[in-house]
Amino acid sequence: MERYRMVFSGSGGQGVITAAIILAEAAVLYENLMAVQSQSYGPEARGGATRSDVVISDTEVHYPKVIQPNLLVCLTQEAYNQFYPIIRPGGLLITDTRFVKTQKKVDALQKELPMYETTMEKIGKSIVFNICMLGAVIGLTDLVRSNSVIKVLQNRIPSGFLDINREALNLGIELGAKVKS
Amino acid sequence: MERYRMVFSGSGGQGVITAAIILAEAAVLYENLMAVQSQSYGPEARGGATRSDVVISDTEVHYPKVIQPNLLVCLTQEAYNQFYPIIRPGGLLITDTRFVKTQKKVDALQKELPMYETTMEKIGKSIVFNICMLGAVIGLTDLVRSNSVIKVLQNRIPSGFLDINREALNLGIELGAKVKS
């Protein structure tokens, strides 16, 4: 497989770190892959964009930081402004239509998806926005099976919340699969 | 300051990853420090011990993996058996008395603390065991102020759960401070 070097970025409360950890666990526990997931916080973390890195591969990952992601997700304008320059040429850039206006030219496949709007319209709870985003990533990349994510969610989430998480994941997968080229 | 290279280890449901993220955020957002927090998952993750790494420093952290922690926390026997050999000579090893029997000789300061028992006795909810552990780390090291952790918890946790988290943190701090040499 291609090695996936991903950066999920957004603001503090949007759950990008949680999404990254869920993806890493799904890959490792149920897909026989290896993964490293990390957060680097420097001075820019104070009042800036939150960033979470995940590397997934079928061989061992030695260097855990992502320098040039081949998949970059930006859920806020600030995250987009800060991180769009690091995308790997030919990579995939996913932004949320509600929160990000993409203006820059990047040498990447750009997908603007209404993840937040769809989450709010169909479920009405912003708390699963990050899971919808994770679904979109999976829908576009087929990196792991949705069922592997569901299994991780089952271990992590109180059973009363599982349904809206599953629904958010499926909404995201549909959004991603629909625009897959 | 001394650079802290920490490994928190235990089993999947014990919340060692969450504790590591909370500590990193407290250090960065409210203590003017820098931090890197990461999870490396390889084949040993399937059915083995969970491990979460945090490096905290007042200068930039370039290499995010922890090879030899100067602070190692083990919350299960399996985690202890797997990770005690990596502790840095002269480091600090914290284990939970309920879950770990320490038998090996290590060149480290060894603190066996009744974190789980105290949490269950005083609060009765195992879900805050990880926060009690985090308190013990702080009580022993004074790495960050408890108030910095409280601020992170306020941003992350539904307000109804804040009290038991604060209580668990304080219980841990007392346990740690009591055995500080």
Mean pLDDT of chain B: 94
Measured in angstroms, the CA of A81 and the nearest CA of chain B are apart by 21
pLDDT at A12: 82
pLDDT in tens, A21-60: 999 999 999 999 999 999 988 777 776 799 999 999 999 8
> Cβ of A60 and B38 within 8 Å?
no
Task: Indicate whether B101 pLDDT > 80.
Answer: yes
Question: Which position has the token pair 């769009």?
Answer: A84
Chain A positions with Cβ closer than 8 Å to B: 12-13, 17, 21, 24-25, 27-29, 34-43, 45-46, 60-61, 64-65, 155
B157 exposure class (CB count in 10 Å sphere: 0-12, 13-18, 19+): middle
Assigned fold of A4-111+145-164:
Pyruvate-ferredoxin Oxidoreductase; domain 3 (3.40.920)
Question: Which position has the token pair 């491990």?
Answer: B51
**B44 contact residues in A (CB cutoff 8 A):** none
* Range with the poorest average pLDDT among A153-157, B90-94, B163-167: A153-157
Contact by Cβ (8 Å): B165, B128? yes
pTM over 0.80: yes
pLDDT at B2: 80
Alpha-carbon distance of B112 to A129, in angstroms, equals 41
Task: Indicate whether B62 pLDDT > 90.
Answer: no
Q: Where in chain A are the domains?
A: 4-111+145-164
Mutation target to probe the A interface, by most A beta carbons within 10 A, among B14, B40, B44, B55 is: B40
B136 exposure class (CB count in 10 Å sphere: 0-12, 13-18, 19+): buried
Mutation target to probe the B interface, by most B beta carbons within 10 A, among A22, A28, A58, A156 is: A28
User: Per-residue confidence at A162, pLDDT binned at 50, 70, 90?
Assistant: very high
Segment (H or E) for B121 = helix B115-122
Q: Which are the contacts of B163, defined by CB distance < 8 A and separation ≥ 6?
A: none
Query: What angle, rounded to 10 degrees, do the helices at A146-156 and A16-30 form?
Result: 110
CB count in 10 Å sphere of residue A59 = 9
User: Measuring CA to CA, which residue among A124, B164, B81, B35 is closest to residue A132?
Assistant: A124
pLDDT at B77: 96
Integer CA distances (angstroms), A74 to A16, A92, B28, B66, B165, in order: 10, 11, 22, 28, 31
CATH number of the domain located at residue range(s) B4-178 in this protein: 3.40.920.10
Integer CA distances (angstroms), B159 to A78, B20, B28, B30, B125, in order: 28, 21, 23, 20, 16
pLDDT at B161: 93
Tell how strand B50-57 and strand B34-41 pair up.
antiparallel
Find the mean pLDDT for residues B8-16: 92
Alpha-carbon distance of A176 to A94, in angstroms, equals 9
